[in-house]
Amino acid sequence: MHRVPVIQNGDHQEIHLPRELFLPHDLPEGQTEGEFLVEIEKVGDTLTIRPLCSAPKPSWDTLFDLPPVSDDFLEERPSVIGQRD
């Protein structure tokens, strides 16, 4: 566990993360440093910080862009309908 100071800077606060706690992030092609976005959630007195990646999260729409499965996909599988222990 690390202890770092919280710096009051006008109407906001800053926390400087030690290098070993740096957040993973995706930067635009060719950019080696700079700002990136994080998501912060507060539950009670706990803050959770998660990086927001530049790559979009998959949605159900991407499912339909996948190649079709083979004709014999799941052809041989045990039936579980009507079975009880």
Domain boundaries, the chain: 6-65
Taking only the tens place, the pLDDT of each residue in 19-53 is 898 887 766 666 666 777 888 999 999 999 988 76
In total, the chain counts a number of residues equal to 85
Q: What is the pTM of this model?
A: 0.49
Cβ neighbours for 2, distance < 8 A, ≥ 6 positions apart: 18, 21
Is the model more confident about 14 or about 65?
A: 14
Q: How far apart are CA 19 and CA 1, in angstroms?
A: 13
Quick one: what percent of the chain has pLDDT higher than 70? 79
pLDDT value at 61 more than 80: no
Is the model more confident about 58 or about 3?
A: 3
